Amino acid sequence: MSVGVLDVDAVRMRFSSLRNPFLYFDGPSGMQMPDEVIDAIAAYLRESNANMGGDFETSRRTTATYLAARTAAARFFSCTDREIIFGPNMTSLNFMLTRTFGRTLSPGDEIVVTRLDHDGNVAPWLELARDLHLRVRFAELTPSGELDLDSLAEAIGPATRVVSFPWAANSIGTLTDAREVTERAHAAGALSWVDAVHYASHGEIDVAAVGADVILCSAYKFCGPHMGVAYARSELLETWRPYKVRPAPTEPLGFSFETGTPQYEQMAGFVATVGYLDSLGGFDPIIAHEESLGERFVARLPPGYTVYGPRESARRVPTFAFNHATLDAHDVARHLIERRINAGAGNYYSPGVMQSLGIDSAVRVGISHYNTEAEVDALLEALAEIA
């Protein structure tokens, strides 16, 4: 596999699941897992299954697995391993971290979220606001389905303590300028809190380049196991008092914010996941391949279908929500499924997006780096037949 060019045939050979007779356009709900990740999970359970803290061999192996996962996550985020926090999923991590941060808030403080968000990055703040008598303000969307920066500026005020936003929308694929929003948050003396769940499978995360204070994602969205992982700036974590059992260690720093027994087998899979992504040459070849397929899909979409969000690949990731002028979204999805094309219809836990677009649901397909031109053409042919 040459640098900068994704050898898709070689990639697909690493996925047993891709030998099934399905076209996997359901990546936004969770990507397929390469065999090496599955093997790493199984190997841990066969050879190292234990808890940390013992002097026996399997406990030592488990400790090594946990530490390797922290190192891999630090490489994935381009941060230090002290700034990594693991959890069962992004939403659980977000509820936990927002409540930890809530210990620093006072009645009347304000939180800014966006209509572009998945509700996993809205509901935790709404619940916290109810508990602590805070105010949650929403930044609106433009008619093209992008974050309205003028609305964001109006929402941010002297009482704003955090600006929480998605790097990429899981519903319609819109990208957000994470650096720009972070700078606006910091200019107001607020934290930048980023939902990178959907972005993490389509682009590189560099916390220093973005400057955000908290970034959360889920490994199953980028070919990994079902687990959440977060970055939080060490200077920030050092000022927070975590919810934790008293005897639990306080180092590494991020470990203080993890509760209960870690998901060791998933962490073994996470290490293999980061290794898999590294083996592809980073995200540059992934981005180039996905953009090519996304542009092919948009350019050849049959008449009668409307794609929501920006059409240009530079302003979106290749996740497409669309509807037909006369057909119900769920009927379109059902017909795709009958053709063994994995797709869906719904609101994708993004009520703000649907409300802004004036719709209840949409068909959604997501292009991943293991998809091919032939698969995209088969999807387009099916959509034409359905219409």
CA 4 from centre of chain: 24
Q: For residue 173, is pLDDT > 70? A: yes
Distance CA 153, CA 107 (A): 22
Domains assigned to the chain: 8-30+281-386 (3.90.1150.10), 40-277 (3.40.640.10)
Percentage of the chain exceeding pLDDT 70: 99
Whether the per-residue pLDDT at 3 is higher than 50: the answer is: no
Mean pLDDT of 137-147: 97
Q: Report the chain's terminal Cα–Cα distance, integer Å.
A: 39
Examine the pLDDT at 1 and tell me if it is beyond 70.
no
The whole-number pLDDT of residue 246 equals 79
pLDDT in tens, 200-247: 999 999 999 999 999 999 999 999 999 999 999 999 999 999 998 877
Q: Pick from 69, 133, 121: which is nearest to 95 by CA?
A: 121
Residue 71 CA: distances (Å) to CA of 144, 216, 223: 39, 16, 18
Secondary structure (3-state) at 120: helix
Q: What is the pLDDT of residues 39-98, one digit of tens each?
A: 999 999 999 999 999 999 999 999 999 999 999 999 999 999 999 999 999 999 999 999
| Cis amide linkage into residue 158, ω under 30° from 0 | no
Q: Is the pLDDT of residue 377 over 70?
A: yes
Q: What is the mean pLDDT of residues 289-307?
A: 98
Question: Which helix or strand (DSSP H or E) is residue 364 part of?
Answer: strand 362-366
Closest CA to 343 of 373, 315, 376, 304: 376
Across the chain, mean pLDDT equals 96
- Strand blocks (E) in 99-222: 110-114, 135-139, 160-166, 191-195, 214-218
Q: Which two tokens stand for residue 369?
A: 């780096």
* pLDDT at res. 82: 96
Q: Give the pLDDT band of residue 120 (cuts 50, 70, 90).
A: very high
> Which pLDDT band, with edges at 50, 70 and 90, does 252 fall under?
confident
Report H helices in the chain: 8-12, 35-47, 57-77, 90-102, 123-132, 149-155, 178-187, 207-210, 234-237, 264-279, 283-300, 329-338, 351-357, 373-386
Residue 37 has which token pair?
């990740």
Nearest CA to 289 out of 6, 1, 2 is that of 6
Question: In whole angstroms, what separates CA 264 from the centre of its chain?
Answer: 21
pLDDT digits 0-9 by tens, 267-277: 999 999 999 99
The pLDDT of residue 2: 43
pLDDT value, residue 37: 98
Neighbours of 20 (CB within 10 A): 12
Q: What is the pLDDT of residue 245?
A: 86
Q: What is the pLDDT of residues 11-32, one digit of tens each?
A: 999 999 999 999 999 999 999 9
Rounded CA separation 284/268 (Å) = 25
